[in-house]
Amino acid sequence: MAGPRRSGTEPRHARSDLPLRRTLSLVFGALFAVGAAAFALLAWRTVPGGSAPNRDTYVFFAALCAAFAAVAAVDLAVVARRMSRDRPPYGR
Per residue of the chain (92 residues), give pLDDT as tens: 555 666 666 666 666 788 899 999 999 999 999 999 999 999 999 888 777 788 999 999 999 999 999 999 999 999 999 888 876 666 55
Is residue 2 one of the residues assigned to a domain? no
The answer to whether 34 touches 72, Cβ cutoff 8 Å, is no
pLDDT at 13: 62
Range of the domain at 54: 17-86
Q: Residue 12 burial (CB < 10 Å; 0-12/13-18/19+)?
A: exposed
Is residue 10 one of the residues assigned to a domain? no
Please give the tally of structural domains in the chain: 1
| Whole-prediction pTM | 0.75
The CA-based angle 22-12-14, given to 5 degrees, is 50
Is residue 7 one of the residues assigned to a domain? no
pLDDT at 5: 65
User: Identity (one letter) of the amino acid at 14?
Assistant: A
